[in-house]
Amino acid sequence: MSVSVPIRLGERSYPIHIGRGLLARPELLAPALSARQVAVVSNETVAPLFLERLQAGLGERHTLAVVIPDGERHKTLETAGRVFDALLGAGFDRGCTVVALGGGVVGDLAGFVAATYQRGVALVQVPTTLLAMVDSSVGGKTAVNHPRGKNMIGAFHQPRAVLADLDTLDTLPDREYRAGLAEVIKYGLIGDPEFFAWLEDHMDALLARDTAAVTHAVERSCSDKARVVEADERESGVRALLNLGHTFGHAIKTATSYDRWLHGEAVAAGMAMAADLSHRLGWLTPAELDRTLALLAAAGLPAAPPAMTPDRFRELMSLDKKNRGGRLHLVLLRGIGRAVVTDAAEPAALDATLAEFCARPVPDPA
């Protein structure tokens, strides 16, 4: 059984297919693979597990597999250059399709390659992590990192389809699975209080990877994101709400060289800090702050940053690409399910949040 969530963007519309056994259903990908040339970009961890299964459904097309190193430290222009070299070496033209098979790093990098190779070629996302299924594979954001900041070099480039085969989660380590739950929790916090309450009641089932619970969580998350992307494809307005916790989280990722913390772990700590700041501004009640921190804890996620001085944290936050005119733009909460973007957070309140959280750092997750 599978479900499909549509992304309605006119001529750029596409389906998100969610369910088990989808890699064995080539008819789901066929409408998005008009090209005879298909390049599958994967990494050293995922390719041995799923590449052969995916390629078996591509038929008689000219296929190319490009396997990159695993880890976010490889989400760079240098690695993208290796993929460009492979495409050019194989004679792939502007009618080719790039298929991203992997987690968020693979999806972001392969998407960036598809957005820029010969000024743009078709893209299909086949996410293999929970985080990628509910976030990075959906919505058309592609990017690589720069040493001075996360996702600083990128483009908007929508896929032709997203294929979220829940079977791939069976091999996902617990730490990476929990990191994906951070983005699931985010959807409840920014605009879906009923989903947040459902997560409070079903976190044990999600941690046990119950198929019905996981299917519902992925479908609800994708539906919530679809509504935001349809309203604001290029992040000129409400789509910025999807960045709850990300300005804090990206500072953590930069401080740890994109290596020691997973994206979802950094976002979880960032959401805890955003909730604390919202409470200090009088926007989030004590009970709502407690519920937010309790759900992050129930998911086994960090709720504080690594060791760092407040001044260093603020410096790294200032590098965030969402800032404008030297002003820090943050996504904060006026209640569970009521996120806002603001550049008017009182400096004293932000200082207090940074001072408190930096005074009680947590070890690197393991």
Q: Are 87 and 116 in contact (CB under 8 A)?
A: no
CA dihedral 142, 144, 145, 150 (to 10 degrees): 0
Q: What percent of the chain has pLDDT over 70?
A: 98
- Consecutive H or E run containing 154: strand 149-156
**pLDDT value at 321 more than 70:** no
Please identify which of the residues 82, 253, 263, 279 carries the catalytic annotation: 263
Q: Residues 43-68: what's their mean pLDDT?
A: 94
Maximum separation of any 2 CA atoms in the chain, in Å: 63
The contacts of residue 325 (CB under 8 Å, 6+ apart) are: none
The identity of residue 308, as a single letter, is M
- pLDDT for residue 270: 97
74 in active site: no
**CA–CA gap between residue 37 and residue 249 (Å, rounded):** 38
- pLDDT for residue 323: 67
Q: In what order do the strands lie in the sheet with 37-43?
A: 2-7, 14-19, 161-165, 122-127, 97-102, 37-43, 62-68
Least confident residue range of 14-18, 55-59, 197-201, 335-339: 55-59
Please identify which of the residues 17, 239, 253, 291 carries the catalytic annotation: 239
On average, the pLDDT of the chain sits at 95
141 in active site: yes
Please identify which of the residues 250, 253, 279, 329 carries the catalytic annotation: 250
Query: What is the set of domains in the chain, with CATH numbers?
Result: 2-171 (3.40.50.1970), 174-358 (1.20.1090.10)
Q: Which residue reads 């392969």 in tokens? A: 110
Position with higher pLDDT, 190 vs 26:
190
Q: Residues 285-290: what's their mean pLDDT?
A: 98
Give the tokens for residue 278: 């919202």
- pLDDT for residue 184: 98
Q: Which residue reads 């299964």 in tokens? A: 53
239 in active site: yes
250 in active site: yes
The contacts of residue 245 (CB under 8 Å, 6+ apart) are: 182, 186, 267, 268, 269, 270, 271, 272, 273, 274, 331
Q: Residues 218-245: what's their mean pLDDT?
A: 95
Q: Are 121 and 114 in contact (CB under 8 A)?
A: yes
8 in active site: no
- pLDDT for residue 283: 97
Q: Are 16 and 160 in contact (CB under 8 A)?
A: no
**pLDDT value at 227 more than 90:** yes
- pLDDT for residue 325: 64
Q: Residues 335-361: what's their mean pLDDT?
A: 95
**CA–CA gap between residue 69 and residue 44 (Å, rounded):** 6
- pLDDT band for 149, please (50, 70, 90 cuts): confident
Q: 57: burial class by Cβ within 10 Å (0-12, 13-18, 19+)?
A: middle
- pLDDT for residue 59: 82
Q: Residues 89-101: what's their mean pLDDT?
A: 96
**CA–CA gap between residue 135 and residue 129 (Å, rounded):** 10
Q: Are 157 and 123 in contact (CB under 8 A)?
A: yes
**CA–CA gap between residue 54 and residue 61 (Å, rounded):** 12
- pLDDT for residue 144: 96
Please identify which of the residues 200, 230, 233, 235 carries the catalytic annotation: 235
Q: Are 58 and 38 in contact (CB under 8 A)?
A: yes
- pLDDT for residue 366: 80
Please identify which of the residues 216, 243, 288, 329 carries the catalytic annotation: 243
Please identify which of the residues 82, 150, 225, 279 carries the catalytic annotation: 225
What pTM was computed for the model?
0.94
Please identify which of the residues 246, 279, 280, 291 carries the catalytic annotation: 246
263 in active site: yes
Please identify which of the residues 183, 219, 265, 288 carries the catalytic annotation: 183
